Structure 1
Amino acid sequence: MSVPPESVVPPPPGEHIGGDIPAEERTWAMFAHLSALIGAVLTASFGAGWACVVGPLVIWLVKKDSMPFVADQAKEALNFNISVAIASLVLLVLSAITFGIGLIIAIPLWVVIGIGWLVLTIIAGVKANEGVRYRYPFALRLIK
């Protein structure tokens, strides 16, 4: 007898569930996080803007119905990258409004945000590959 999907309660964030998740699903979840790094390279190389969001978004849209762990982690990566993009945009607007004087604040914050983004993205990819539901700190949960 099977249990309807709506009655299955997902484990709490950070719980190790690696034994229950197939390797393929863990790998896709890792790609959902690390695809943002490829987006960052495209952004730096071609000025693609919000390219960090594209990888997690595509993986979430393609895998959300067939792989619940991937859907959860791709959504988490998407929310985090949208949050980082919003923070960067706010700093850019601050700099423009103050005619460049805001760069005194914005440049150091961009460096801190960039390093934090890189470290947290790599940690999330590793945790997802281990089968752990990773939750980013400071992420707005815009996509539910």
Structure 2
Amino acid sequence: MSNPSPQPQPSAPLSAADDRQWGSLAHILGILGIVPALVIWLIFKDRGSFTDTEGKEALNFQITLLAADLLGYILVVVGIGFLILPVVFVVRIVFSIIAFLKAKDGHNYRYPFAVRLIK
């Protein structure tokens, strides 16, 4: 007779402070690209509603910027990409900082433009 394997226990909900912290980190770590926002959202989305909301928003923004980066790299061939890539870089930094500052104070932040693929 085999022993039944122990069932994984659900993770404890985040405290309000931790929820704000992870939600704001999803934004600021977006400066590094899409991976930090994706990892934070996947790990903490079920543990805190604020992190779920802000993680999705940060992830959608990073997906939008990834598409803009890819377009810029493709358009380097015709010379326009050299204009697009620095703009995307600055937009990523500026809006990630703005979102972080709002989220760390517990306010939801919506980027002024983002393709919202993750609902």
Is TM > 0.5 for Structure 1 vs Structure 2? yes
**Is 1:83 equivalent to 2:58 in the alignment?**
no
Provide the residue aligned with 2:83 in structure 1.
108
TM-score, normalised to structure 2, is: 0.82
Higher relative contact order (CA 8 A, sep 6+): 1
How many percent identity over aligned positions? 41
> Pairwise mapping of residues 24-63 of structure 1 onto structure 2 (< 5 A)?
24-37=18-31, 39=32, 52-63=33-44
Post-superposition CA distance 1:92-120 (Å, at most 9, x none)? 2223xxxx3x22x2112211221111100
Task: Tell me how far apart the structure 2 counterparts of residues 27 and 90 of structure 1 sit (CA, whole Å).
Answer: 33
Give yes or no for the alignment of 1:122 onto 2:97. yes
Structure 2 unaligned segments of length 5 or more: list them.
1-14
Secondary structure of 1:143's counterpart equals coil
Q: How many residues align?
A: 105
Residue equivalent to 1:23: 17
CA distance in 1, matches of 2:71, 2:87: 15
Separation in 1, partners of 2:115, 2:59: 10
Aligned 8 A contact 2:73 2:85 in 1: no
Q: Which runs of 4+ in 1 moved over 2 A?
A: none
TM-score, with structure 1 as normaliser: 0.68
Q: Residue 116 of structure 1 aligns to a residue in which SS? A: helix
Cα RMSD of the aligned pairs, angstroms, is 1.4
